[in-house]
Amino acid sequence: MARIERHFVCQACGAVTSRWVGRCEACSGWNTIVEEAPAREAAPKGLGTKPGRRIEFVPLDGPGEPLVRLETGIAEFDRVFGGGLIPGSAALVAGDPGIGKSTLLLQAAAGLAAKGLPTAYVSGEEGIEQIRLRAARLGASGAPVALAAATSLRDILTGLEGLDPAPCVVIVDSIQTLFLDSLDSAPGTVAQVRAAAHELIRFAKRSGAALLIVGHVTKDGAIAGPKVLEHMVDTVIYFEGERGHQFRIVRAIKNRFGPTDEIGVFEMTGGGLKEVSNPSALFLPADRSPVSGTAIFAGIEGTRPLLIEIQALVVSAPPGSPRRTVVGWDSGRLAMVLAVLEARAGLAFGGYDVFLNVAGGLRIEEPAADLAVAAALVSARLETPLDISAVIFGEIGLSGEVRPVAQAAARLKEAAKLGFERALAPRDAAAAGGGLVVETVARVEALVERLGSGAPKARRAAGPMRKAVERHG
Ligand code: TYD
Ligand code: MG
C-alpha cells in the first residue's frame, strides 16, 4: 500500500520535513512547523534532451539606462530606499503588527499620487471605509490613489492589469492576507505567501511597476515569517523600535539598488508618521544629570551622526548563572565586552546580573559602540557616574585594546554642535578635535582606572554588598 506523503513546513524559514517536530532543524525556531497540503504538481523531472531557446549574451559594459527613482516626497522614506523606488522592483516592508506599516505606506501612496504617479493601494486587511478614514486623519484624502480591498490574488492581478492609467507603484497590504485559489493551504502559510509574492513580483517585472509588499513578523513566528520572502525581493525594509516608543526607525536590511546602512526616523503622531529629519539629538536623555551606568555614544547611521544614550544596570545576583539582558544591541557582543573587562582589566561581572539598554528603541549595529557600552558597564559596576559632558566611541578588541573607528571627525563635530565638551575616543581621533577636548583611551584598563579612581573607595566596596544585604534582608 502506498504511504500517504505528509508535508510539514516551517512557517519561519520554509524548510520542509516529512514529520512534525517541535523545533525546526533548519532555523532552530520552536513550534514553527505546520502541516500543509503538498503542492499539487508532480515531482520535477529532468529537462531531457529537447533544446531550449538560445538566450543572448551581451557584454558586461553596455549602454546602461540611468536608474529612474520614484520619489514619495517623504525624504526619510526615500532615503532608506536609496533615493526613491525603482520601477519594476519589489520591496518588502516588514515589522511587528501595529508598528505603522499601513500608515507609512498610505502616506507614501498619497505622496506618489500627488506627484502625478499613478499609484494603486490594495488592502487585504482593512475595508475601504477604514482606509478612507485613516487617509482623512493623515490629511491624504485628496490624493488620487486607486484603492481596492481584496484578498484573491487572481482578482487583484486582473484588477491591476485593467487599471487605466497603468499603475507606476503598487502597494499590497499585507502578503499574509492574500491567497491563490489554486493552492489548498490557508492564507498566511509559507506556500501561499511564497506563491502570492512570486505572482506579484512577476507582475511588477512585467508591468514595470514598483511593488511594495507589507509583511507582518510575529515574535513567535506563528504567521508565515516573511523570511522566505527576503530572498525573493530586491529590497527589505524593517521597522525597528517598539510600539511603546513614539519613534519609529525604518532600516533597509537588503537593497539591490542602494546602501543598507541608512535609517529613516519618524515620530508617530495623531496625524500619522512625521519625519524627523535631524535625529542626532533624539536619543539623548532630556535631563542630563550624572547617573551611574549611563554613557553617551557618538554613533553614525549611514551618513548621519547620531548621539545615543546607552544604559547599563549591574546588580548583584543570587548564586547560579547571572542574567544578561540586552535591548538594542547584540548579546554576543555584550558577552565579549564583559569578558574583556574581566580578563584584561580585572573587573569581574560573574556575581552580577547585567542589563543593557539602548535608549529610544534603536538597534545599534556598529562595533564603534563597544567603548561606550564598556563605559556604561564599568560606571554601573563601580557606581560612578561618567562625565555628562563627554561622548564616547571606539571599538574594543579581545586583547583589550581600543581601536580606531570610521568617521571620527563627523562624530566629534556633531557632539560639539550639541554642546558636548569632551570625548573619550581611540588614539587617532585626537587629531580630529572638532572643538572638543579628546581624551584618548588606548586600552580598557585605562577606562576602568579612570572611573575607579573617581569613586570614593569606601562606597565602591560597599555598593554591591549593600545591595546584597537589601536583597537577602
Ligand atoms: P498601522 O499603520 O495600522 O500598523 P501596521 O500596519 O504596521 O500594523 O499603525 C497602527 C498604529 O498606529 C495604531 O496603534 C495607531 C497608530 N496611529 C497613530 O498613532 N496615528 C495615526 O495617525 C495613525 C493612522 C495610526
Ligand atoms: Mg496594517
Q: Which residues surround ligand 2, an ion (CB under 5 A)?
A: 102
CATH 3.30.230.10 is right for the domain spanning 282-472 = yes
E strand intervals along 39-144: 90-95, 119-123
Q: Is 102 in the pocket of ligand 1 (CB under 6 A)?
A: yes
- How far is the centre of ligand 2, averaged over its atoms, from the C-alpha of 125 (Å)? 7
Alpha-carbon span 333 to 98, nearest angstrom: 30
**Residue 232 CA, distance from chain mean position:** 18
CATH code of the domain made up of 75-277: 3.40.50.300
- CA-nearest residue, atom 1 of ligand 1: 100
**Residue 301 CA, distance from chain mean position:** 12
- How far is the centre of ligand 2, averaged over its atoms, from the C-alpha of 170 (Å)? 16
CA atoms within 13 A on the CB side of 244: 4
Ligand 1 test: best mutation among 96, 103, 133, 172, most atoms within 8 Å of CB?
103
The pLDDT of residue 461 is 38
Alpha-carbon span 171 to 102, nearest angstrom: 10
Q: Is 208 in the pocket of ligand 1 (CB under 6 A)?
A: no
Taking only Cα atoms into account, the Rg of the chain, rounded to an integer number of angstroms, comes to 26
Residues facing residue 396 across a β-bridge: 402
CA atoms within 13 A on the CB side of 120: 23
Whether residue 371 contacts residue 424, with contact meaning beta carbons closer than 8 Å, is answered with yes
The pLDDT of residue 43 is 58
- How far is the centre of ligand 2, averaged over its atoms, from the C-alpha of 101 (Å)? 6
Whether residue 112 contacts residue 169, with contact meaning beta carbons closer than 8 Å, is answered with yes
- Looking at ligand 1, which atom is closest to the CA of residue 105? 2
What is this structure's pTM? 0.78
For residue 145, give the DSSP letter.
-
Residues facing residue 120 across a β-bridge: 146, 170
Cell numbers 493552492 correspond to 183
- Looking at ligand 1, which atom is closest to the CA of residue 134? 24
- Residue 428, phi then psi, degrees to nearest 5: -70, -15
Q: Is 137 in the pocket of ligand 1 (CB under 6 A)?
A: yes
Q: Is 103 helix (H, G, I), strand (E, B) or coil?
A: helix
Write the Ramachandran bin of 433: left for phi over 0, alpha for psi from -120 to 50, otherwise beta. left
Q: Would you list the DSSP string of 239-306?
A: EES-TTSSEEEEEEEEETTS-S--EEEEEEETTEEEE-S-GGGTBS-SS----TTEEEEEEEETTEEE
- How far is the centre of ligand 2, averaged over its atoms, from the C-alpha of 124 (Å)? 9
CA atoms within 13 A on the CB side of 420: 31
Whether residue 385 contacts residue 292, with contact meaning beta carbons closer than 8 Å, is answered with yes
Please state the domain extents for the chain: 1-35, 75-277, 282-472
Short-list 117, 110, 113, CA closest to 135: 110
| Distance between first and last Cα of the chain | 70
Q: Is 139 in the pocket of ligand 1 (CB under 6 A)?
A: no
Short-list 294, 307, 398, 397, CA closest to 355: 294
Write the Ramachandran bin of 241: left for phi over 0, alpha for psi from -120 to 50, otherwise beta. left
The pLDDT of residue 41 is 54
Q: Is 124 in the pocket of ligand 1 (CB under 6 A)?
A: no
Q: Which residues contact 334 (CB under 8 A, 6 or more apart)?
A: 324, 326, 354, 356, 373
Per-residue confidence in pLDDT tens, the chain, 473 aa: 556 678 888 877 778 888 888 888 888 888 888 888 766 555 567 888 888 899 999 888 877 777 789 999 999 999 999 999 999 999 999 988 889 999 999 999 999 999 999 999 999 999 999 999 999 999 988 899 999 999 999 999 999 999 999 999 999 998 999 999 999 888 888 889 999 999 999 999 999 999 999 998 765 544 455 567 888 999 999 888 767 778 888 989 889 988 887 889 999 898 999 998 788 888 887 777 889 999 999 999 888 899 999 999 999 998 888 999 999 999 999 999 999 999 999 999 999 999 999 988 888 989 999 999 999 999 999 999 999 999 999 999 999 999 999 999 999 999 998 899 999 999 988 887 678 899 999 999 999 998 887 544 433 333 343 333 333 33
Whether residue 299 contacts residue 366, with contact meaning beta carbons closer than 8 Å, is answered with yes
The one-letter amino acid code at 206 reads R
Alpha-carbon span 326 to 307, nearest angstrom: 19
